[in-house]
Amino acid sequence: MAYTFEVLAERSRREILDLLREGERPVGELVDRLALTQPTVSKHLKVLREAGLVEVRQDAQRRWYRLRPEPLAEVDAWLAPYRRLWESRLDALERRLDQMPDRPEGDHP
């Protein structure tokens, strides 16, 4: 999973995943949407493919890429305890704010 975090640390790769979340896309469309060169997009796709985050299928002369959600589920599972930690803190803050008396309009310190 550490490798997955390294791969996700690069902004362009996250942008590629965001586009693929909407559905399968050919390389050329990713190049157009990202305003990156084709070799640069291909290098990022190779890293994403090696990390198992995307898969490719060949259709004649075009390569179509799609998202593989399984590695992201592993990251989500790792983040779950941290999410619960923040949720409990935010819930405590909400309870505290609910206990505070409301101030009349225009009554500012």
Give the DSSP H/E element, type plus range, for residue 61: none
pLDDT of 33 reads 95
Q: Specify the 3-state DSSP secondary structure of 1.
A: coil
- How many C-beta atoms surround the C-beta of residue 44 within 10 A? 22
Q: What domains does the chain contain, in order, with CATH numbers?
A: 2-69 (1.10.10.10)
DSSP 60: T
- CA distances to 7, 36, 88, 103 from 10, rounded to whole Å, are 6, 14, 30, 46
Q: What is the pTM of this model?
A: 0.74
Q: What is the pLDDT of residues 51-93, one digit of tens each?
A: 999 999 998 889 999 999 998 998 899 889 888 888 887 877 8
